[in-house]
Amino acid sequence: MKSKQTIERDVQLDMDHRGVAIQQVGISQVKYPLTLSGIERDATAYQSVSAELSLSVSLEQELKGIHMSRLVEDLIEMDGHLSVTGLATLLHRLKEHQQANAASLSLSFDYYLDRTAPVSGRVGKQAYHCELEGQLDEGQLILVQKVEVPVTTLCPCSKEISAYGAHNQRGYVEVRLEHHFAADESLDLSISLEEVIEEVEASASAPLYPILKRTDERYVTMQAYEEPRFVEDMVRNVAVFLRDDARIDRWQVRVTNHESIHQHNAFAVVSGGR
Amino acid sequence: MKSKQTIERDVQLDMDHRGVAIQQVGISQVKYPLTLSGIERDATAYQSVSAELSLSVSLEQELKGIHMSRLVEDLIEMDGHLSVTGLATLLHRLKEHQQANAASLSLSFDYYLDRTAPVSGRVGKQAYHCELEGQLDEGQLILVQKVEVPVTTLCPCSKEISAYGAHNQRGYVEVRLEHHFAADESLDLSISLEEVIEEVEASASAPLYPILKRTDERYVTMQAYEEPRFVEDMVRNVAVFLRDDARIDRWQVRVTNHESIHQHNAFAVVSGGR
Amino acid sequence: MKSKQTIERDVQLDMDHRGVAIQQVGISQVKYPLTLSGIERDATAYQSVSAELSLSVSLEQELKGIHMSRLVEDLIEMDGHLSVTGLATLLHRLKEHQQANAASLSLSFDYYLDRTAPVSGRVGKQAYHCELEGQLDEGQLILVQKVEVPVTTLCPCSKEISAYGAHNQRGYVEVRLEHHFAADESLDLSISLEEVIEEVEASASAPLYPILKRTDERYVTMQAYEEPRFVEDMVRNVAVFLRDDARIDRWQVRVTNHESIHQHNAFAVVSGGR
Amino acid sequence: MKSKQTIERDVQLDMDHRGVAIQQVGISQVKYPLTLSGIERDATAYQSVSAELSLSVSLEQELKGIHMSRLVEDLIEMDGHLSVTGLATLLHRLKEHQQANAASLSLSFDYYLDRTAPVSGRVGKQAYHCELEGQLDEGQLILVQKVEVPVTTLCPCSKEISAYGAHNQRGYVEVRLEHHFAADESLDLSISLEEVIEEVEASASAPLYPILKRTDERYVTMQAYEEPRFVEDMVRNVAVFLRDDARIDRWQVRVTNHESIHQHNAFAVVSGGR
């Protein structure tokens, strides 16, 4: 049986001689329940989410390894609450407790918003898959907001060339917004994912709704027919909304249409920023 | 260092005293390349597939464990070729080599068939996700054929209540056919998955095609509009085709529509047989 | 433009002549936020979960279709709360509002429980993937509880034949419990998934923990080495716990080991009950 | 009914006024059977694979849309054969046929290699998930090779602090290699994914094998125990192999360990190049 002294020897404290610095090392697919704010226009609004997280730090070339359990403890110490400010706090703790030069985190979760049917007024909840990412190093903090907005898209070509009907399908619009801050700058995310979701839904052939009565179904069927959108149109509509928005540093839009006439999808990507 | 004798002692040969017989024990998520026949109308036609397999046997309550590596060897000894008869042969080998009362296997793979666009005649290949299963015990062999056929479905209600347009989407039709044979009976699968695929595609609002030129797109758009199908209609159309077919012992159809106006899906299931 | 009268004609009310009754028709992949109780030993304890649901009813052969939106409304009217009794209430509503002979529902979600490291006493939350199902027809209500418990499994053969070391890996234990009630019987689920989880974790080579300090890592490493389990042992241990439990009508256990020495998995299934 | 002239009007030829250039537009999740060479050390060796592809081009801001079906036809015209040279040919065709400034493609597939058990010499096939990507613009062609290699990793800390045993698990090593060529340069991929796979397997605690007899299981169990690797070690070992290889322009390694003592994973990422 090894002596107690052996338990003290921490192999992570050995030196490494391969001369390889590691950009990111940590834990992933960590599931944790959180109360999250900062997703809605109302910055104080919050929701319970089941999040999947990734927490990591950089590692200098001489050091053999990090302390993985400390990363989990930093998460636990957030007491289950996260806001934009909280993300920055967590990044600082990850970095300091590992004495690292940089720290990163990401979390993905479903967030629910009420959606109201256009004619009947029936209200139901719709899930939006969101992600938040953060990267902190000596000089800078980068915060990333991502959301996937499902919509209805109807094909202009199909409508144009056919005597009647037009193929339509679910489309998925992924928006990624990047915000850069100086490491000691006060964080201010003045654009919410709720606002992005509304802009995307307004630019589609039609939004999706959790509940539709017959009067609503008629409404969205006809709206989509009146508002055909190629995948090129969808991605451009959202790009126009994002490109001149001073609240955003860098952005990317990816639209994927699950074409109803093919087994494969159509997609388009646009990115920009300063 | 343990002596060579220890290597000989096989813990799987110990006796178990918990009094629990095991229905299935084996290996799963085994990936193997195979040449497969028996999927098309032409029983001799074959294709190279990348299959994911599950191989298992039953285990009597007194026995501690099976010999997992023997299962892999039985698969390797098939020399990469499988047909309906080959499936039965493999089941018999799995059962005999483990001295078990029963053996099971399943394999899932993509199988490609040519599909010809309806107006332009352009030909491309379309993938169909298929599964084959087998169960052998002392008295009986059950063979199962499964295929998932993607189609276009257009909503009758949406069409009826709207002045123009109709929501449509990709639908997925899963058909499961079960065939019972006496353990020593000669196997004869006289219904092919290719035939099932054709029947399903013929009963949808429109089939999917890998390649569509403008003339084809007009054709399928209008065909779907002329042939609206609720998920209830899709599942009934296929059931009508299967229920009186003497070549089938038990069957099930499940249709899932990826509704273009909702984030959720609509589905229906019908099963029958003797 | 079609007249308002057309909006009134409901194609779902037409008659169907194909003579095919449908076992299940409804909606799936519905995401909804719920407050759920009945998972823990304390029947009043609840948690916010993000659930994926399936809601369906049967359809008689003469009827053309159901009213899909009514299913969504039945869910919304639960006001986001579900307990065992609530599941039965929802089933009755689905059935009555569609005037159907039978109704089914399922929901899957992650549920978090505190887990305490064995030496350091550090507490963290661990996610367990759970499912609840219900089926109601004229005479009977069947309730199903399912949970997937991740554990550590260490191979007895590897340990036996090697001078040192033993391969080990994550294993996943899926337990399915079925409870039968007369349609008007008062529901009493006296076995909780929390209890099942504890039994499974106690029967593994070692449980998993969200946070482990060095003293804990030593503890679980050695515990696993002292408690080797074939996949056959894991499944039998759980079967012994379930088979004589009078609170369960039918049960099934499936264990899947993500073998650290292979790319494929090992698995075993046992089922039983009255 | 619209006249034939309408069929002629191609909405894709309209002009767009939003001033948004699109970086990538095309089709994704296209499944196609291919015969692929260039994966093994022997550049002439080929294998039938079922590939999932993405094909796209850039689109100038004034143009409304691309011709999606032409992308599919370009793929079909490859007659199911692809090599490194073939990838470049396909990129040139995609670009020319859409009169675009740039073209991209990616394909992912499983590729099988024989693996021989270390003592018994038993041979079986093991699947490696691979990806190839290409990007062509006016001046340059970038080719990317990616492979995910599953291995066994055993924890040094667990081994060090425990009297006996050591936790181990499956690890997944993803290697990404980027090669830059001038657009008219002759392509020469002198490093094969087979070579990368061998280097990765040689640097792990132990490789995985499709088939292991008892003598092999003893061998790999003990080898892993003698060769503990933190995720930091795994990623550094591979980085050392890649960083001085003149045949590679840019590279990235990501290792993910499916920790047998946790539900979450450990990971590390290193990248480099010129």
CB C235 within 8 A of CB C268: yes
How do beta strands C46-59 and C81-82 pair? unpaired
- Closest by Cα among A107, A173, A97, A172 to A143: A107
Report whether C171 contacts C257 (CB < 8 A).
Answer: yes
Q: How many CB pairs under 8 A join B and D?
A: 67
Give D146-181 pLDDT, tens digit per residue. 999 999 999 999 998 999 999 999 999 999 999 999
Contacts of D64 (CB under 8 A, 6+ apart): A230, A232, A233, D11, D12, D13, D14, D15, D16
Q: Picking from A23-27, B182-186, C249-253, which range would have the lowest pLDDT averaged per residue? A: B182-186
Q: If DSSP codes are grouped into helix, strand and coil, which group holds residue D158?
A: helix
Residue spans of chain C under pLDDT 70: 1-13
Provide the CB-side half-sphere exposure for D1 (13 A, CA).
4
pLDDT at residue number A4: 39
Verify whether the Cβ–Cβ distance D18 to A66 is below 8 Å: no
pLDDT at D67 > cutoff 60: yes
Averaged pLDDT score across all residues of chain B: 92
Mutate: best of B3, B7, B20, partner C, most C CBs <10 A: B20
- How do residues D231-268 score in pLDDT, each as one tens digit? 999 999 999 999 989 999 999 999 999 999 999 999 99
Alpha helices for chain B (secondary structure H):
4-8, 68-76, 84-97, 156-161, 193-202, 214-226, 231-243
Tell me the helices (H) and strands (E) count for chain B, helix number first.
7, 10
Q: Is the pLDDT of residue A34 over 60?
A: yes
Contacts 24+ apart (CB under 8 A), B40-49: B40/B113, B40/B192, B40/B193, B40/B194, B41/B192, B41/B194, B41/B195, B43/B83, B43/B192, B46/B83, B47/B111, B47/B112, B47/D33, B48/D33, B48/D48, B49/B109, B49/B110, B49/B111, B49/D50
Q: Are A173 and A253 in contact (CB under 8 A)?
A: yes
Mean pLDDT across D20-48: 96
Q: Taking a C-beta distance cutoff of 8 angstroms, is the pair C14, B159 a contact?
A: no
Closest residue to C261, CB basis, from D158, D164, D212? D212
**pLDDT band, very low/low/confident/very high, at A274 (cuts 50, 70, 90):** confident
- Given a contact cutoff of 8 angstroms between Cβ atoms, the answer to whether B39 and B130 are in contact is yes
Chain A residues with CB-CB distance to D66 below 8 A: 232
Residue ranges covered by each domain of chain A: 20-273
Q: Does B237 touch chain A (CB under 8 A)?
A: no
D173-198 residue pLDDT tens: 999 999 999 977 888 888 999 999 99
pTM reported for the whole predicted model: 0.94
What's the pLDDT at C4?
39
Interchain contact C260–D (C-beta under 8 A): yes
In this complex, the residue of A158, A209, A264 whose CB is nearest that of residue B221 is A158
Q: Are strands C168-182 and C250-257 parallel, antiparallel or unpaired?
A: antiparallel
CATH number of A20-273: 3.10.270.10
On chain A, the residues whose CB falls within 8 A of the CB of D16 are: 232, 236
> Does this complex have an ipTM over 0.95?
no
Mean pLDDT along residues B51-65: 97
**pLDDT category of residue A3 using cuts at 50, 70 and 90:** very low
Q: Which chains touch D (3 or more CB pairs under 8 A)?
A: A, B, C
User: Does C207 contact chain D (CB < 8 Å)?
Assistant: no
Instruction: Say which DSSP state D258 is in.
Output: -
Q: Lowest-pLDDT range, A186-190, A191-195, C234-238?
A: A186-190
pLDDT at residue D2 in the model: 41
Q: How far is B22 from chain A (nearest CA, A)?
A: 33
Is residue A185 pLDDT above 90, yes or no?
no
Chain B CB contacts of C105 below 8 Å: none
Does the structure show a pLDDT above 90 at D11?
no
Confirm if B1 and C163 have CB atoms less than 8 A apart. yes
pLDDT at A151 exceeding the cut of 90:
yes
Residue A227 CB-half CA count within 13 A: 18
What's the CA gap between B53 and B32, in Å, rounded?
8
pLDDT (tens digit, 9 = 90+) per residue, C211-231?
A: 999 999 999 999 999 999 999
Q: What is the pLDDT of residue A12?
A: 60
The reported pLDDT for the residue numbered C188 is: 80
CA–CA gap between residue C129 and residue C143 (Å, rounded): 17
Is the minimum CB–CB distance between A6 and chain D shorter than 8 Å? yes
Would the CB atoms of C208 and D126 count as touching at under 8 Å? no
Mean pLDDT value across residues B118-138: 96
Query: Does residue A2 register a pLDDT over 60?
Result: no
The verdict on B162 touching A (C-beta cutoff 8 Å) is yes
pLDDT value at A31 more than 70: yes
**Phi, psi at A180, each rounded to 5°:** -105, 135
SS3 labels along chain C:
CCCHHHHHCCHHHCECCCCCCEEEEEEEEEEEEEEEECCCCCCCCEEEEEEEEEEEEEECCCECCCCHHHHHHHHHCCCCEECHHHHHHHHHHHHHHCCCCCEEEEEEEEEEEEEECCCCCCEEEEEEEEEEEEEECCCEEEEEEEEEEEEEEECHHHHHHCCCCCCEEEEEEEEEEEEEEECCCCCCCCCCHHHHHHHHHHCCCEECCCCCCHHHHHHHHHHHHHCCCCHHHHHHHHHHHHHCCCCCCEEEEEEEECCCCCCCEEEEEEEEEC
Mean pLDDT value across residues B133-142 = 94
**Band of pLDDT at residue B270, cut at 50, 70 and 90:** very high
pLDDT in tens, A108-133: 999 999 999 999 999 999 999 999 99
Average pLDDT over residues B243-248: 92
Q: Is there a contact between B125 and B134 (Cβ–Cβ < 8 Å)?
A: no
Tell me: pLDDT of B79 over 50: yes
| A230 interface with D at CB cutoff 8 Å | yes
Of all residues in chain D, the percent with pLDDT exceeding 70 is 95
The D residues from 99 to 138 touching C (CB cutoff 8 Å) are: 126-127
pLDDT at A93: 96
Residue D110: both structure tokens together: 């499983």
According to DSSP H, which parts of D60-114 are helical? 68-76, 84-97
**C49 at the A interface (CB within 8 A)?**
yes
Are C160 and B1 in contact (CB < 8 Å)?
Answer: no
CB contact under 8 A, D47 and B33: yes
User: Given a cut of 70, is residue A250 above it in pLDDT?
Assistant: yes
Chain A neighbors of B259, CB-CB under 8 A: 170
pLDDT at residue B8 is higher than 80:
no
At B54 the pLDDT is 98
Average pLDDT, chain A: 92
